[in-house]
Amino acid sequence: MRTRDIVMRFGIAGAFLLLSEMGVASAQTTASGDGGKLARTFCNACHQVEPNADAPSPNPEAPPFARIATTPGMTDLAIRVFLRSPHSTMPNFLLSEPEIDGVIAYIRTMGGT
């Protein structure tokens, strides 16, 4: 459906809805920004997701992301493998591969390799 058809069918509100959905789609292509949003939505109930290693996590068992970033051996692959299965204490949700990429890119903004 073209924008003009949508305007005719749903009026101006429909066109705005379409435009805002296009905005969401383009936001999803910026991996690290998206990862930060995901982290703040899904992970910050337990983890400290802001790049301040000294700030404690809401759940003291859950390591702050800045510490995960600099933990030796916590490679991109290790994080990826970890996130493909739900961790014991985490609610039973799984991220899609692009979401995992985004979260890893976000964690990497805090250090590590």
Judged by the rule CB under 6 A, the positions of this chain that interact with ligand HEC are 42-43, 45-47, 59, 61-63, 68, 71, 74, 79, 82-83, 87-91, 95, 103
Select 2 or 96, whichever has its Cβ closest to ligand HEC: 96
> Which amino acid is located at 100 in the chain?
I
Nearest-approach distance from CB 109 to ligand HEC, in angstroms: 13
Q: How far is the CB of 6 from ligand HEC (least distance, A)?
A: 35
Burial of residue 12 (CB within 10 Å: 0-12, 13-18, 19+) is exposed
Shortest distance (Å) from residue 65 CB to ligand HEC: 7
Tell me whether residue 51 or residue 63 sits nearer to ligand HEC (CB atom): 63
**Contact criterion met (CB below 8 Å) for 57 and 64:** yes
d(CA 54, CA 14) in angstroms, rounded, equals 47
| Closer by beta carbon to ligand HEC, 89 or else 96 | 89
Rounded least distance, CB 22 to ligand HEC, Å: 26
Burial of 76: CB neighbours in 10 Å, binned 0-12, 13-18, 19+: middle
Task: Specify the residue, 63 or 111, whose C-beta has the smaller distance to ligand HEC.
Answer: 63
In the block, which residue shows the tokens 């290790």? 78
Is residue 107 within 8 Å of residue 69, measured between CB atoms?
yes
